[in-house]
Amino acid sequence: MSTRILGGRTAIVTGSSEGLGRAEALALSAAGADLVINARSARIDDVAAEIRDAGGRVVTYVGDIGEQATADRLVALAVAEFGGLDILVNNAGIIRDRMVFNMSAEEWDDVVRVNLRGTFLTTRAATHHWRRRAEETGNPVYARIVNTSSEAYATGPPGAANYAASKAGVVALTMSTARGCGRFGVRVNALCPRARTAMTDGVFDPEPLSGDDPLSVEHVTPLVVYLASPAAEQITGQVLVVYGDRIDVMSAPTVQTHLTSASRWEQEELHEVLGGHLAPSSAVQGDEATRMPS
């Protein structure tokens, strides 16, 4: 497979000033894509310089991803500078960890605003563009979205209710968008990366002193490039955990068991049947929950 598998394609990458977003931007550019990169900090200018030094084409936009104007501007820049949009990588995210009983409404809103609302706004702007193009041409478009979720959506870490809820929302948004926009050619998937970044500082064990680091962001970027490529045409609506040499394909929630009543549920029967099935040993305990943020 050619190393320039994204030649002629244009990608937007949010949250690309450092960490995983920076690595994704560099990898997409190395694969041939033209880039529009976004962050809240002018540090994306340094990332843009790296891309240009390597022969890539890129434009930057500093802006709040929680604002619709930012999402609209990113799509408009892709069209104006490079003639269209083919790939959207939603990476922007923040954490504001605190136990739920101590969490302020502002801490909740801030995390949901960036992690979930920001992903929705860019998704809405991109899919609106792609739907219009599909209607104009009468054919499906080439369109890829790679969203960033986290295993926190499934584990429910005790000190990050806002983060876990936002990442669960990203999973639901991914699945719904895949089903709703597939007929236009849109393919949408979500990654739960285990990667060593500023956001995960203190979460993982220290980086090994020698040898390969399985939590390096470089282990995540090949999958991002693949999902953005023509080869991934048949992959959509998936949630993929990625780290080291491993990819875990997550399944949708399934029914664990069926419980039935003899007639209509009474309190005593509920306690015997449901309570007996969901014994304390099967309950999620706060100290057992682990956090795997992205």
Known catalytic residues are 150, 163, 167
Task: Convert 254-278 to b/e letters by CB count within 10 Å (16 or more is b).
Answer: eeeeeeeeeeeeeeeeeeeeeeeee
CA dihedral 196, 199, 201, 203 (to 10 degrees): -80
Task: Convert 146-180 to b/e letters by CB count within 10 Å (16 or more is b).
Answer: bbbbbbbbbbbbbbbbbbbbbbbbbbebbbebbee
Take residue 19 and report the two structure tokens written for it.
């960490």
Per the listing, tokens 């064990």 go with: 205
Closest CA to 41 of 94, 80, 87, 79: 94
C-alpha angle 138/144/148, rounded to 5°? 150
Measured between alpha carbons, how far is 44 from 77 in angstroms, rounded to an integer?
Answer: 16
**CA 221 → CA 15, 129, 227, distances in Å?**
14, 26, 10
What backbone torsions phi and psi does residue 31 show, to the nearest 5 degrees? Answer: -85, 0
Take residue 88 and report the two structure tokens written for it.
């959207």
| Bridge pairing between strands 58-62 and 34-39 | parallel
| Cβ proximity of 124 and 71 under 8 Å | yes
